[in-house]
């Protein structure tokens, strides 16, 4: 039965909807009444079947789509956002170099290479430096005698530093890299007043910086990830273009996601004092995963059907876009007891905040979990009495469940 409670024109990717709240009641209604639903969307992506998308909202279905890349392609696996007419052909071609957009076998080849930079050993090697960073970030924030913005003072810095450490960006270059990264992801929200041209320019600068880095390391290899990834240009390594886009993707995939997880986590703790007290006492290692489940920083991704297929009793046609809504799956009562509770001891916690399994599952998950752990440990040590001031100021985005500002105070 179609969802009676949802009005005509309802669109889960409407930035104005997500600006105010994650549409949990609507997700609940969809999961109950029409877990695979066609949603009209007049401004789709130029050149593709763009008049709407299938909204997939149940945990089991999101997993199914994510783990069947042969039926649900990631080519143009961008967020289901309201792209305008600006998407030019060459920009679309460039997207082919982004891991998130690739399908097997090309995806398998590139991911196998990139994975070398994300081994448990290489993440562990960053731990002590990132712990020191987290401590320093929190100490600097603590120096504020009055209210301050948790996002700019605490949550922003660590994810950027982590990526910079991972790929060995020299200290002197970090400010400009951070500036490009921030400009690239500040779309859709009027506060930032970043035009698309500035965003695109920043992406180009970042890519050419990374390509130069790759060329340098090829000439003079060092003991770092860049050298490992680009060592020799053959099938087993990244070429300079691929490396440039790899760095671009890290700046997008590992930056704002983790920033928002940290901010949502702080907000969740400060609005759930019993959970914060428990955290401060016991520091459960399950907390970071629950933060990602509860907040789900990435609301959705999209796939495109490669063939006619059936899902949830609906016929999905070849070429149709399919949106997998992690934010909904993560609150599915079929899988999670009391799904709307923030329970930092939840275990097991098979949430889909890092993706629904399958080949594109988040490559940076261990790094993200480490960052979240480190920052909350540092906050619990140094600012245990942090207070919330007012409501979070949410990002206007169709895709990212983001917070621009969160005012807090230590006094």
Chain residues in the site for ligand HEM (CB under 6 A)? 66, 99-100, 111, 163, 249-250, 253-254, 257-258, 261, 292, 297-298, 301, 326, 353-356, 358, 360-364, 367-368
**206 vs 253, beta carbon nearer ligand HEM:** 253
d(CA 257, CA 291): 12
Q: What distances in angstroms separate CA 74 from CA 249, 360, 365, one per listed residue?
A: 15, 9, 19
Task: Identify whether the C-beta of residue 223 lies closer than 8 Å to the C-beta of residue 125.
Answer: no
Please state, in angstroms and rounded to a whole number, the distance separating the CA atoms of residues 331 and 28.
8
Task: Name the closest residue to ligand HEM (Cβ).
Answer: 364
Nearest residue to 100 (alpha-carbon basis) of 298, 262, 291, 236: 298
Q: For residue 83, give both structure tokens.
A: 């792209």
Provide, rounded to whole angstroms, the least separation between the CB of residue 360 and ligand HEM. 4
Task: Give the residue with the Cβ less far from ligand HEM, 29 or 241.
Answer: 241
Q: Which residue do the tokens 């886009």 mark?
A: 245
Q: Give the nearer residue to ligand HEM in terms of CB position, either 303 or 396.
A: 303
SS3 content of the chain, % helix, strand, coil (to 5): 50, 10, 40
Q: How far apart are CA 54 and CA 282, in angstroms?
A: 42
To ligand HEM, the closest distance from the beta carbon of 361 in angstroms equals 6
* CB closer to ligand HEM out of 34 and 328: 328
Distance CA 190, CA 192 (A): 5
The C-alpha R_g of the chain, in whole angstroms, comes to 21
Smallest gap from Cβ 363 to ligand HEM, in A, equals 4
> For ligand HEM, which is the closer residue by CB, 111 or 283?
111
Nearer to ligand HEM, 79 or 211 (CB): 79
Q: How far is the CB of 122 from ligand HEM (least distance, A)?
A: 11
Helix (H, G, I), strand (E, B) or coil at 97: coil
| Minimum distance from residue 372 beta carbon to ligand HEM (Å) | 7
Cβ at position 352, least distance to ligand HEM in Å: 8
Q: How far is the CB of 80 from ligand HEM (least distance, A)?
A: 12
Spatial CA neighbour of 156 closest among 172, 173, 140:
140
CB of 354 to ligand HEM, least distance (A): 5
Comparing CB distances to ligand HEM, the nearer of 34 and 73 is 73
And the tokens for 204?
């180009």
Nearer to ligand HEM, 31 or 259 (CB): 259
DSSP 226: H
List Cα–Cα distances, 214 to 175, 207, 241, 275, 404, in angstroms: 20, 10, 9, 45, 33
| Smallest separation, CB 145 to ligand HEM (Å) | 31
Q: Which CB atom, from 34 or from 225, has the smaller least distance to ligand HEM?
A: 225
Q: Can you spell out the DSSP letters for 44-83?
A: --TTS--SEEEEE-SHHHHHHHHT-TTTEE-TT-------
């Amino acid at each position: 039965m179609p969802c009676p409670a949802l009005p005509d024109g309802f669109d889960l990717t409407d930035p104005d909807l997500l600006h105010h709240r994650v549409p949990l009641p609507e997700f609940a209604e969809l999961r109950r009444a029409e877990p695979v639903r066609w949603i009209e969307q007049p401004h789709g992506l130029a050149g593709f079947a763009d008049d709407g998308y299938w909204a997939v909202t149940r945990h089991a279905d999101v997993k199914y789509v994510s783990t069947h890349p042969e039926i649900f392609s990631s080519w143009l696996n961008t967020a289901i956002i309201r792209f305008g007419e600006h998407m030019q052909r060459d920009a679309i071609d460039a997207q082919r170099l982004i891991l998130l957009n690739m399908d097997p076998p090309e995806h398998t080849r590139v991911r196998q290479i990139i994975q070398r930079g994300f081994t448990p050993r290489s993440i562990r090697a960053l731990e002590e430096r990132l712990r020191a960073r987290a401590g320093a970030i929190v100490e600097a924030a603590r120096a504020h005698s009055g209210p301050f913005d948790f996002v700019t003072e605490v949550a922003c810095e660590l994810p950027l530093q982590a990526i910079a450490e991972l790929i060995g960006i020299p200290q002197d270059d970090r400010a400009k890299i951070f500036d490009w990264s921030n400009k690239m992801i500040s779309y859709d929200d009027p506060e930032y007043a970043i035009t698309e041209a500035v965003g695109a320019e920043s992406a180009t600068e970042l890519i050419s910086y990374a390509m130069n880095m790759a060329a340098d390391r090829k000439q003079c290899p060092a003991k770092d990830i860049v050298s490992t990834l680009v060592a020799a240009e053959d099938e087993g390594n990244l070429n300079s273009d691929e490396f440039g886009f790899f760095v671009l993707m890290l700046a997008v995939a590992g930056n704002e996601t983790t920033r928002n997880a940290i901010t949502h986590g702080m907000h969740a703790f400060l609005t759930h004092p019993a959970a914060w007290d428990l955290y401060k006492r016991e520091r459960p290692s399950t907390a970071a995963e629950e933060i990602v489940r509860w907040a789900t920083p990435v609301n959705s991704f999209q796939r495109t059907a490669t063939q006619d297929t059936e899902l949830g009793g609906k016929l999905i046609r070849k070429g149709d876009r399919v949106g997998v809504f992690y934010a909904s799956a993560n609150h599915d009562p079929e899988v999670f007891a009391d799904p709307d509770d923030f329970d930092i001891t939840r275990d097991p916690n098979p949430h889909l905040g890092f993706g629904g399994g399958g080949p594109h599952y988040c490559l940076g998950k261990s790094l993200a979990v480490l960052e979240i752990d480190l920052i909350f440990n540092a906050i619990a040590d140094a600012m245990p009495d942090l207070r919330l001031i007012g409501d979070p100021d949410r990002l206007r985005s169709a895709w990212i469940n983001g917070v621009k500002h969160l005012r807090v105070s230590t006094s």
